[in-house]
Amino acid sequence: MMRLLRERLEARAAAGRPVTVALAGAGRFGASVAAQISQIDGLRLAAVADPNARNGAAALRAAGWTDDQVRRCEGPAAARAALAAGGAALTPDADALAAAHVEVFVDATGIPETAARNAWAALRLGRHVVMVTVEADVSCGWALAREARRQGVVYSLAAGDQPIAIMELFDWAAALGLRVIAVGRGTRRYPFDRHGDPDQALARLGYDDAAARRLRLNPQMYNSFRDGTKAQIEMCAAANMTGLPPDRRGMHEPSASLNDLPNLFAPADAGGLLHRVGAVDLANAVTPDGASDIPEHVADGVWAVVGSDHHRVQEDLRIHGTRVSRDGRRMALFREYHLCGVETPLSIAQAALLGAASGAPREAPVAEVLAYAKRTLRPGDTLDGSGGRLVYGLVDRAEALQTEAALPLGLAYGVRVLEPVPADRPIPAHAVQVDPNAFIARLRAAAAEPPAAAFG
């Protein structure tokens, strides 16, 4: 597929018709996407939306535009005019971008409610959507994917982030007819991290103030890495793409080296952790006591454990596999890195030139992320979502959300607490005041109805 994609990009470049791209959110991830687009003939970042004009202008410069080629626009008409004149559009409002004449809309805002609204508007206008904001995808991605199919366009998660890196391993194994036993990503989570505060997140990750400013790091986002919520979110996205649910709430997340993967992520009757074949999980790079890293870990990468029922294939896996289980029946595939932002243009090109998603949720979710109280919640508190002071998330099977009448993490942003909730317990939906007119709440409600109903 990569050869075909390269040929299509070369053809668009030769014809002077590069794929035009709009980007909402010019933070750390968005800026990386912009820079990499500038290196690919056949793609052009034509417009950026960010409330911080300096960030937006920096992204356009990274994409190869000079300051005198960039027009600051306040609405759709101005954005369309900027692009028609051969320049680039910079706007504080993503609505202007979706209405501009671009082929692919990329959301990297990091704000679930905003990202969902942006993506819906772009899909309804016939734009392909590449979703970087995984928090939005796990909240309503299946509804966005359904709308994309209805509009005849593509909704895709972004290559370079762990969910699509996992999906690439899964697709490779499944296409070969291998039995996929488990898929996952690495983590680096210490015993005391679950209740971490965003104010200390960057320092705990080794960034001083100067580095944080230079790299434009978001403390709350980085706290979601450290308290484990981001990994839970990403594995929920992987579950909803692959159809493989978590084996238990929060997953097992054992401390594991590369050699441990095919032994730990195995059925219980084979000495492993899993109650069922076919699950998503995490491999922690930190020892259980938090004292040190595991040798040969996969903290920054992704993995899959695969097997076969055919004796000849089992023999080949043993002969050629680099990390094979002790009983010789399973092999670990792995990639020790993921390139956030750098690989995202592949998803952009796939959508525009092949009409294909790098990965998208199935028709209905198999997993949800439940909002948990990070501390004891009291009436009047305002929930602050993933990576905040008051909330963390744990993934579970989708039905758990209804069974426990729990609050999904995507609705745990800016809502007021009505009733006390003990620390480390799921937040009941009735214990908070969710705005029924919030976009994600409306989209989730509409998605539960027959798909013929329009949602505006």
pLDDT digits (tens, 9 = 90+) for 298-328: 999 999 999 999 999 999 989 988 899 999 9
* Non-local CB neighbours of 212 within 8 Å, separated by 6+ positions: 202, 219
- Tell me the Ramachandran region of residue 127: left when phi exceeds 0, alpha when psi lies from -120 to 50, beta otherwise: beta
The per-residue pLDDT for 207 is 87
User: pLDDT band at residue 205, thresholds of 50, 70 and 90?
Assistant: confident
The per-residue pLDDT for 117 is 96
Structural domains in the chain, CATH included, are 2-160+342-354 (3.40.50.720), 163-189+228-335 (no CATH), 367-447 (3.90.1210.10)
Joined together, the tokens standing for residue 368 give 């949800």
pLDDT > 50? residue 452: no
pLDDT, average across residues 50-61: 96
Percent of the chain with pLDDT over 90: 86
The per-residue pLDDT for 360 is 98
* Non-local CB neighbours of 213 within 8 Å, separated by 6+ positions: none
pLDDT 10s digits, 151-186: 999 999 999 999 999 999 999 999 999 999 999 999
pLDDT > 80? residue 235: yes
Q: Classify 83 as helix, strand or coil.
A: helix
* 8 Å CB contact between 236 and 368: yes
pLDDT, average across residues 93-99: 83
pLDDT 10s digits, 260-310: 999 999 999 999 999 999 999 999 999 999 999 999 999 999 999 999 999
CA distance 157 to 388: 24
pLDDT > 60? residue 22: yes
pLDDT > 90? residue 366: yes
Burial class (CB in 10 A: 0-12, 13-18, 19+), 278: middle
pLDDT, average across residues 410-428: 97
pLDDT > 60? residue 453: no
From 148-162, 191-205, 219-233, 357-371, the region with the lowest mean pLDDT:
191-205
CA distance 387 to 214: 21
CA distance 223 to 9: 38
pLDDT > 90? residue 394: yes
User: pLDDT band at residue 455, thresholds of 50, 70 and 90?
Assistant: low
CA distance 124 to 146: 12
